[in-house]
Amino acid sequence: MIEPKDAAVRRAVKPVICYPVETLPAPNMSIYEEARQNLTKIDEVLAPARDAAVFKVPVGHFFRISSVEGSQVGDLNLWNANDLNEKFYTGKTRALHGTHITTGQQLWSSFPQLRPMATITHDTLGWYGIDEYGGSVHDVIGTRCDPYTHNLLAGGQYHHCCHSNLSRAMGENLGITAQEAESHVHDVLNVFMCTGFTRDTGQYFMKGSPVRPGDYLEFFAEIDLLGCLSACPGGDCSDEHSSDSAQCHPLLIEVFKPVDRTLEGWKSPAVNGYNRGHGL
Ligand SMILES: [Zn+2]
């Protein structure tokens, strides 16, 4: 293809940030920091390797996803526990916070609520930053591994992709079939997964996760949450996913209650202020 004469000039235009976050209400991290100093564990559940587990987190509580036994990535779905129509919105979270999220950033919910569902309050992989390949940890770009894309690219019927694991676990939780539960499953936060886009072709890549047993990602529940976490069949995602060849490990989910009288000054976020007139 022939370039126009002013191609270089057009390419040299400086980018601007689509959604500057200076006006985004910033979470008061000192409130969470104080609250997390004194926590009581009230629940724990293990997401087995190549499988998923459902968990509940009451508003105002914390939850942690921890690596145990070996390097492992997880695919996380979140819903408003009182209304499954309000669910985690990866696309808008990405638009606001970038491709990967860490301490101080929030997981936003779908329209029309569009409010923070959870705030990341601690990330033991926060040191990783962005590596020489453009890779980073905890992405909101990779959707979730699923048997449909696998069928498209490789053929065959693989049943332990994160999409199926999440569908089975949610189906069991709701007393419906995995097929019926599928429509509740949505794009995920890829916990511990190290990903990016190649510089030359812009393709989504993954590489062996830097997560090690003992590492964890901690969240504060801004609303009552129902969560579902799949321990991805890709293991640490150093090679491939959507098969039984990778070494896989479970992931631990723990729920914590802060001591009473902390969280002073914190309020559960209200739903979005747009009046839904849509110009009519
Ligand atoms: Zn997966």
pLDDT band at 143 (very low <50, low <70, confident <90, very high): very high
Task: Note the pLDDT of residue 104.
Answer: 97
List the one residue out of 177, 217, 224 whose CA is nearest residue 78.
224
> What number is the average pLDDT over the span 121-144?
96
Q: What pTM did the predictor assign?
A: 0.95
CA of 169 to the centre of ligand 1 (A): 14
CA of 19 to the centre of ligand 1 (A): 29
CA of 221 to the centre of ligand 1 (A): 24
On whether the CB atoms of residues 161 and 241 are closer than 8 A, the answer is yes
pLDDT band at 244 (very low <50, low <70, confident <90, very high): confident
Task: Note the pLDDT of residue 243.
Answer: 74
Q: What is the pLDDT of residues 183-224, one digit of tens each?
A: 999 999 999 999 999 999 999 999 999 999 999 999 999 999
Task: Note the pLDDT of residue 162.
Answer: 97
> What number is the average pLDDT over the span 149-173?
96
Q: What is the pLDDT of residues 36-57, one digit of tens each?
A: 999 999 999 999 999 999 999 9
pLDDT band at 242 (very low <50, low <70, confident <90, very high): confident
Residue 66 CA to residue 122 CA, distance in Å, equals 12
Residue 126 CA to residue 114 CA, distance in Å, equals 26
Task: Note the pLDDT of residue 241.
Answer: 74
Residue 268 CA to residue 221 CA, distance in Å, equals 9
Angle, helix 147-154 to helix 162-174, in steps of 10 degrees: 150
User: Is the pLDDT reported for residue 100 higher than 80?
Assistant: yes
CA of 234 to the centre of ligand 1 (A): 6
Task: Note the pLDDT of residue 261.
Answer: 74
H/E segment holding residue 62: strand 62-67
**φ, ψ for residue 11 (rounded to 5)?**
-70, -25
Residue 181 CA to residue 172 CA, distance in Å, equals 9
Share of the chain above pLDDT 70, in %: 100
The rounded mean pLDDT for the chain is 95
CA of 128 to the centre of ligand 1 (A): 21
On whether the CB atoms of residues 244 and 51 are closer than 8 A, the answer is no
Task: Note the pLDDT of residue 245.
Answer: 84
CA of 62 to the centre of ligand 1 (A): 24
> What number is the average pLDDT over the span 17-34?
91
